[in-house]
Structure 1
């Protein structure tokens, strides 16, 4: 039995999410050998397999919803499926051949989901690579594998049927869019208190860009996942970085509630990473985020300044003090995973490496401004207080 190799979220060049677990398995193309992976769908937000070839070129991705379960089993990642289904088995085969004529490099089939590793996406012969496994946000009460253990990997003669390996059923537990406003205006409260917001420049200080071609190759991203990277954060101990954006909706699988199918995306997160080496240092995931009553995220980042008295979770704020992170250049990394086809407010149509115009994402654009700590006490919180008391 072969073993997966775990890749820590803060590994070099990973841009890792601390709410995800990453595993890899190296392979060599051999027409006489077939790799068989048998596992169970985890109790987690998301799972995917990525097949990468030589020079880290992504060949294909098989996300959880694309996998057809074994006969008699359920894929709980399909909208409306039984999240707590007992029978949740799947089988994947890695074949060292080119895909059939006219087929993609991933072909789903019940009990026989197949990834073809013999060629790269452009048809160039492939010699070796990595199989990657991602598991995001295990549900509460389950371990990092989502309660089902890691999938079993076996080698098999290519012409021999060896798919009848049994899988343990043990569960491992542990103790249409409306018109949008300008993204800069997400700082605006009710119009009667517009004077509060006029204290701050209406332009966003943070600039966001799609990750470049090289970073895309390193990340080996899943299909339909969008990553954007901010410019370098200015670590001024006398200022706070206030980021506000509309929160995309997501399924509450963390509390073991199944996927409905009407969510904006499967998962989103904001991570702090180093500009040199692309080390992940900290992640704030959607399920960890305070979302205010109007559906916005109010993220206040400190570089050593004290927390304003009204910047509380009760008032709809998220507070992160990064003064204890390494004193190296930092940037923010915003991940939108498995975006709904009917949700247009992401940067997916912006070319790789290009700046994301705020209007592309509308209210969902993370608009960041550097403000003095007194901004919250003298304006923002007083504004809220006065509004609530003058209704």
Structure 2
């Protein structure tokens, strides 16, 4: 996997975010934390190593590129079963990164059950949470926390939640599925944000504790990726190759964005035009509770170059080790990604908020094409961000197809133009306004004819 330098205007040549996912996996190398241990932890990290699988999702490796991963993120999964009456604690340090969270999942539906993110995690005594607005991010070596995992459903009354507790109970389900996420590790940090993975300790019903590698045996930890529900090729082909559909199907001559509610609604909306009603926003395929998505299908049948214009929400710039977490931004993270399709769930390329060129008003021009069709003036110097369309089309024999996914994470209470603010199908443009990209097709020569600084009005 190759990542270009992370600054506004440069494009990461990896991975995209998740429509049916958010639980996808990306590249990186994990290691155990080497900082002082305020709790009695496994200093070698063996318990963490045997519990957590990942990170995976390397775009250059087809066996790892699945479930629409985002290039800005790193993911680790765990599958386990707790003995009756027991609980599991995780000791860790806040990552040097933009965001981190731990989600639990329903193994039958792959929908999220509960989540604890960085800002909702209370630090240990003497430590500080570097993710709070205005908090010190750099130079703070006291950044530890402890979480408790309980195999019970989340309380219906939020006031009844226990502090730093992740609930993972699903009626009738024995096993527990977890995903630990780290977004945009600081420059020079490893995939874990320089702190290793959360380390587990098992607390048995009789008061005894189990630590180290014995934890993994006691909780029957499973290795490998979480089970995914793949769309059978025959089903995909029947949806994609319907007779009588117009040129470019399922894309429209002007890209149409649809908010993600659940996998069944997304497929029915895109391939059968059933985009109405009041679908449940349950997520699926291990999506992240803190994210919401809109997607659009695009096709080179309308032109070999697609130009997207829109306004970028403000987000905290963290990659270059900002000393403090910026306050007053619109949301925590934003990305736009290109992918193949539900046939493969492979990602192609992605740009996140720190890689997008904007003008003084926060507006951007993103040009999408195949690498060989990239206009010569589609450069950062000309105020343009370039993103690759899928060289393999949908991965199922349709070379013109690409699936775009736009992600919004943790919008601020005062910002009401996020995907999270959409409520019913087809209200995306009304709610998001300029923060939802508008697209037009052209050709390589047509965009080059705009000359230098084609992003300027």
In the superposition, the TM-score normalised over structure 1's length comes to 0.77
Counterpart pick for 2:327 among 235, 257, 261: 261
Cα distance, 1:96 vs structure 2: 2.8
Encode CA deviations 1:235-280: one digit per residue, 9 max, x unaligned: 2495310011101111111111122221111111111122123222
Deviates more, 1:84-93 or 1:310-319: 310-319
Q: What pairs up with 1:295-374 in 2 under 5 angstroms? A: 295-303=362-370, 306-322=373-389, 324-325=391-392, 328=395, 329-351=401-423, 354-374=425-445
Distance 1:27 1:315, change over 3 A: same
**Structure-2 separation of matches of 1:262 and 1:6:** 34
Query: Is 1:114 the equivalent of 2:192?
Result: no
Shift of 1:327: 6.0
Residues 8 and 384 from structure 1, CA distance in 2 versus in 1: closer, same or farther, beyond 3 angstroms?
closer
Q: Is the 8 A contact 2:291 2:409 kept in 1?
A: yes
Q: 1:326-350, CA deviations, whole angstroms, 9 ceiling, x for partnerless residues?
A: 5633200101111111111123243
Task: Name the CA shift for 1:30/1:101 in 2 (closer, same or farther; >3 Å).
Answer: farther
Structure 2 CA distance for partners of 1:107 and 1:322, relative to 1, 3 Å? same
* Equivalent residues in 2 for 1:78-117, closer than 5 Å: 78-84=132-138, 85-97=140-152, 102-103=157-158, 107-108=162-163, 113-117=164-168
Unaligned runs of 5+ in 1: 166-202
Which piece of structure 1 moves more, 59-68 or 278-287?
278-287
What RMSD, in angstroms, separates the aligned Cα atoms of the two structures?
A: 3.0
Greater C-alpha radius of gyration: 1
Asked whether the equivalents of residues 384 and 455 of structure 2 are also in contact (C-alpha less than 8 Å), the reply is no
State which of 276, 282, 296 in structure 2 corresponds to 1:230: 296
Residue 320 (structure 1) shift: 2.9
Q: Does 1:239 align with 2:239?
A: no
Q: Distance in 1 between matches of 2:155 and 2:430?
A: 42
CA offset at residue 48 of structure 1?
A: 0.4
Partner-residue secondary structure (3-state), 2:380: coil
Contact kept in structure 1, 2:201 and 2:211, CA below 8 Å: no
Question: Structure 2 stretches of 5 or more lacking a match?
Answer: 1-46, 213-251, 265-281, 396-400
Kept in 1: contact 2:344–2:394 (CA 8 A) = no
Give distance in 2, aligned partners of 1:241 and 1:12.
25
Cα distance change, pair 208–159 in 1 and its aligned pair in 2 (3 A) = farther
Which of 137, 147, 158 pairs up with 2:184? 137
For 1:222 and 1:322, how far apart are their aligned partners in 2? 25
**CA apart distance, 1:291:** 1.9
Q: Which residue number in structure 2 is paired with residue 21 of structure 1?
A: 74
Q: Does 1:151 align with 2:210?
A: no
Task: Tell me, yes or no, if the aligned pair for 1:208 and 1:356 is still in contact at 8 Å.
Answer: no
What is the rounded CA distance, in whole Å, between the counterparts of 1:98 and 1:379 in structure 2? 57
Relative to structure 1, is the Cα distance of residues 369 and 305 closer, same or farther in structure 2, using a 3 angstrom cutoff? farther
Higher strand share: 1
- Superposition deviation, residue 302 in structure 1: 1.5
Specify the alignment match of 1:53 in structure 2. 106
The aligned counterpart of 1:174 is: none
Give me the TM-score of the superposition, normalised by structure 2.
0.67
